Amino acid sequence: MRHSRPFLLLALLALAGCATPPSSRLPRERPTFPAEALIIQRGVLTARGRQFTLNGYLARSETRGQRLIVTENFGNVLADVLVRPDGSIDVLRANRPLRRAWIQRYVAADLQCIFGHGSEAECPGRMLSPTHFLIERRWYKLDLQIVEIKAGPQAAELFEAKSPEKK
């Protein structure tokens, strides 16, 4: 009996340490963004203890969908994603450190959480202000800020399912 008490105490402490608070969700009432616009954003992606600064350019069209291009600081394209109005996703380009499957599953989901019609249950994170979002998933954290919104129709070519050719 003497040895079982310390074990029981350690077991209770271990269980108490494993408890995690419920994750927060983006509110259902998110800011409305223009249906036709170019939205410029900056973010910091933290994954596995490493941080990556990212720039994003999101073209929105009410009839053609959304086209997101994510670049690193020196302009290299890391992800090029087209989300059609029906919700289908085309990953047009994927470069390191982002993999195609990761872009399909997480980048497109985060895009829908902030700028689309992602459900509250599927959108872990917080809206810190109408232009500042913090997405917190199990494997990563994305701190995203909208820098500028240029309202107006976007060129139809932006929503074609082909990646731009290298020059």
Give percent of the chain with pLDDT exceeding 70: 75
38-67 tens-digit pLDDT: 999 999 999 888 999 999 999 999 999 999
The rounded distance, in Å, linking the Cα atoms of 39 and 89 is: 19
Return the pLDDT at 120. Answer: 62
15-46 tens-digit pLDDT: 333 333 444 555 555 568 899 999 999 999 99
Q: What is the DSSP letter of 160?
A: S
Residue predicted with more confidence, 135 or 166: 135
Return the pLDDT at 27. Answer: 54
The rounded distance, in Å, linking the Cα atoms of 36 and 62 is: 6
> Which neighbouring-strand residues pair with 71?
55, 77
Asked if the model's pLDDT at residue 116 lies above 70, the reply is yes
123-141 tens-digit pLDDT: 888 889 999 999 998 889 9
Confidence of residue 11 (pLDDT cuts 50, 70, 90): very low
The tally of CA atoms less than 13 A away on the side-chain side of residue 103 is 23
Question: If we measure between CA atoms, which residue out of 146, 112, 108, 113 comes closest to residue 26?
Answer: 113
The rounded distance, in Å, linking the Cα atoms of 18 and 126 is: 23
The rounded distance, in Å, linking the Cα atoms of 123 and 23 is: 10
Average pLDDT in the 70-96 region? 91
Confidence of residue 12 (pLDDT cuts 50, 70, 90): very low
The rounded distance, in Å, linking the Cα atoms of 103 and 123 is: 16
- pTM, entire model: 0.77
Asked if the model's pLDDT at residue 1 lies above 90, the reply is no
Return the pLDDT at 58. Answer: 96
Radius of gyration of the chain (CA): 20
